């Protein structure tokens, strides 16, 4: 028997558990430990609430969780309820699948003003993450600036631009829906340091902006490269740029405008005790493709700034950490004997949900090479003894199913669920 502890119940965690099952069959026991009483990580609190088809992957994780040799251990904080050294004493392998839930700072003057919000916090707010349920972002308008050229920036813009009716069928939480419906933001600007050919936006997410009932996406034709230059792009990026070319033909006729401002770099955020404007420097691409400032600056009025420039894995005491890359220091997933990292905690915040599946199989392969099948470690029995002695209130997968049923029962008409947004409410809903 091999005993494996996985820290984090998002995609990387569950794919690692599935990979261990496939690699070791009945000869493995996997405990998936999470700080929250609810599983699935960013599937629950990161994927946009109006992208329910993507969230459906949680059914695959549920099948893994309901198998005999995998269990969910929720409401447990590593470093508080149990330490990494204690887990290493109990398990043959400890896998850090903690993701990258912390925002990278903008690092410019004024980025600490009220009204500057990282995308992890803003997305967590409208998705009901307990850490951000009380965020109360300033939505009075008239303008909002979103910094970043990836899909998260598009998600934030779309959520700000939608009407209440357009959220039908989504699981956006009630407090966010109530705040967003009457808000006064009329100009949404997406700042991208480089040009249309350098975006990380995918066609589906870009295309959605063209179908909003009260918003029009706008692109300055002067920012677009010659059309024949698109031929050298990969098919997905070429399709994305095609959407931008279509947006360049739009006129600002709708109540809300979504401006794509390319070759634009925020250099300061100003305001009297709160965000009032973003100072932007025009950029150009040097010979290596990097964006450099031209010295030309201008101001964009805004009461809200959402930074979508990337994420960092939070360090854990005693675990080697690469501060420059914002992830655990590792060699192809190995951190130290018995200690591994997977997903964003291993490689940084890159790739899609599906990218974590081969990552999980890589780590299972590492565990197989590094451990023996006749372990003398106590595994879950030892963990249960430790938690019993410390009075740790563990949430099981059966408990989670009770929470989920309560959320479904509380849903507004047409919504799949109404998420609990506090730990107390989640714990109270257990059956």
Mean pLDDT of the chain: 96
pLDDT at residue 182, as a whole number: 80
Q: Residue 364 — very low, low, confident or very high, per pLDDT cuts 50/70/90?
A: very high
pLDDT at residue 374, as a whole number: 82
Q: Please state the domain extents for the chain.
A: 2-101+313-395, 103-307
Vertex 332, ends 330 and 333: CA angle to 5°?
Answer: 60
> To which H or E segment does residue 61 belong?
helix 58-65
> To which H or E segment does residue 57 belong?
none
User: pLDDT of 387-421, one tens digit each?
Assistant: 999 999 999 999 999 999 999 999 999 999 999 99
pLDDT at residue 352, as a whole number: 85
As a whole number of angstroms, the distance between CA 190 and CA 263 comes to 11
Q: Which residues pair with 301 in a beta bridge?
A: 277
**Cβ–Cβ under 8 Å, residues 163 and 181:** yes
pLDDT at residue 93, as a whole number: 97
pLDDT at residue 59, as a whole number: 93
Residue 30 confidence (pLDDT) above 80: yes
pLDDT at residue 102, as a whole number: 93
What SS3 state is found at 105?
coil
**Cβ–Cβ under 8 Å, residues 224 and 244:** yes
Residue 80 CA: distances (Å) to CA of 33, 75, 91: 13, 11, 18
As a whole number of angstroms, the distance between CA 320 and CA 346 comes to 12
When pLDDT is averaged across residues 30-58 and rounded to a whole number, the result is 96
Nearest alpha-carbon partner for 150 in 212, 110, 225, 205: 205
When pLDDT is averaged across residues 129-157 and rounded to a whole number, the result is 96
pLDDT at residue 140, as a whole number: 92
Residue 375 confidence (pLDDT) above 90: no
pLDDT at residue 350, as a whole number: 86
What DSSP assignment string belongs to 284-313? EE-TTS-EEEEEEEEEEE-SEEEE-S-EEP
What single DSSP character describes residue 79?
T
pLDDT at residue 27, as a whole number: 95
What SS3 state is found at 188?
strand
pLDDT at residue 22, as a whole number: 96
pLDDT at residue 253, as a whole number: 87
User: pLDDT of 219-257, one tens digit each?
Assistant: 999 999 999 999 999 999 999 999 999 999 999 989 999
Residue 207 confidence (pLDDT) above 90: yes
Q: Residue 261 — very low, low, confident or very high, per pLDDT cuts 50/70/90?
A: very high
User: pLDDT of 158-174, one tens digit each?
Assistant: 999 999 999 999 999 99
Tell me if the bond preceding 142 is cis, omega within 30° of 0: yes
pLDDT at residue 376, as a whole number: 87
Residue 244: CB partners within 8 Å, gap ≥ 6? Answer: 196, 199, 206, 219, 224, 260
Residue 431 confidence (pLDDT) above 80: no
pLDDT at residue 141, as a whole number: 84
Tell me the percentage of the chain whose pLDDT exceeds 70. 100
Strands 102-103 and 311-312, bridge-based pairing: antiparallel
The architecture in CATH of the region 103-307 reads 3-Layer(bba) Sandwich (3.50)
The helix-helix angle for 356-370 and 11-24 (nearest 10°) equals 50
When pLDDT is averaged across residues 60-81 and rounded to a whole number, the result is 96
The architecture in CATH of the region 2-101+313-395 reads 3-Layer(aba) Sandwich (3.40)
């Amino acid at each position: 028997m091999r005993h494996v502890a996985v820290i984090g119940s998002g995609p990387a965690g569950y794919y690692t558990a599935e990979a261990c099952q496939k690699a070791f069959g009945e000869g493995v026991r996997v405990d998936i430990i999470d700080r929250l009483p609810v599983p699935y990580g960013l599937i629950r609190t990161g994927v946009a609430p109006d992208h329910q088809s993507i969230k459906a992957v949680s059914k695959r994780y549920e099948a893994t969780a309901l198998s005999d040799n995998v269990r969910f251990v929720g409401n447990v904080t590593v470093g508080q309820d149990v330490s990494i050294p204690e887990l290493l004493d109990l398990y043959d392998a400890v896998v850090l699948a903690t993701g990258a839930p912390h925002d990278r700072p903008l690092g410019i003057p004024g980025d600490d003003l009220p009204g500057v919000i990282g995308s992890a916090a803003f997305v967590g707010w409208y998705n009901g993450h307990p850490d951000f349920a009380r965020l109360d972002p300033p939505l009075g308008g008239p303008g909002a600036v979103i910094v970043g050229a990836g899909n998260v920036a598009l998600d934030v813009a779309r959520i700000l631009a939608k009407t209440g009716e357009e959220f039908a069928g989504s699981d956006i939480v009630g407090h966010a829906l109530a705040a967003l419906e009457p808000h006064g933001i009329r100009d949404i600007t997406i700042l991208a340091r480089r040009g249309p050919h350098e975006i990380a936006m995918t066609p589906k997410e870009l295309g959605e902006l063209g179908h909003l009932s009260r918003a029009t996406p706008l692109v300055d034709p002067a920012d677009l490269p010659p059309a024949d230059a698109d031929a050298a792009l990969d098919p997905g990026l070429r399709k994305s740029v095609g959407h931008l070319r279509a947006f360049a033909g739009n006129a600002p006729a709708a109540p809300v405008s979504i401006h794509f401002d390319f070759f634009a770099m925020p250099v300061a955020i100003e305001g009297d005790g709160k965000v009032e404007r973003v100072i932007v420097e025009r950029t150009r691409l040097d010979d290596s493709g990097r964006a450099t400032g031209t010295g030309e600056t201008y101001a964009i009025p805004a009461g809200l700034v959402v930074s979508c420039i990337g994420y960092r894995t939070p360090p854990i005491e005693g675990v080697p950490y690469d501060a420059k890359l914002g992830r655990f220091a590792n060699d192809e997933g190995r951190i130290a004997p018995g200690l591994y990292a997977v997903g964003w905690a291993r490689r940084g915040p890159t790739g899609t949900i599906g990218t974590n599946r081969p990552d999980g199989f890589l780590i299972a392969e590492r565990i197989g090479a590094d451990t023996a099948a006749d372990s003398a470690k106590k595994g879950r029995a030892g963990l249960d003894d430790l938690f019993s002695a410390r009075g740790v209130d563990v949430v099981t997968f059966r408990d989670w199913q009770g929470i989920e049923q309560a959320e479904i029962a509380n849903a507004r008409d047409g919504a799949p669920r109404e998420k609990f947004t506090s730990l107390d409410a989640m714990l109270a809903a257990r059956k």
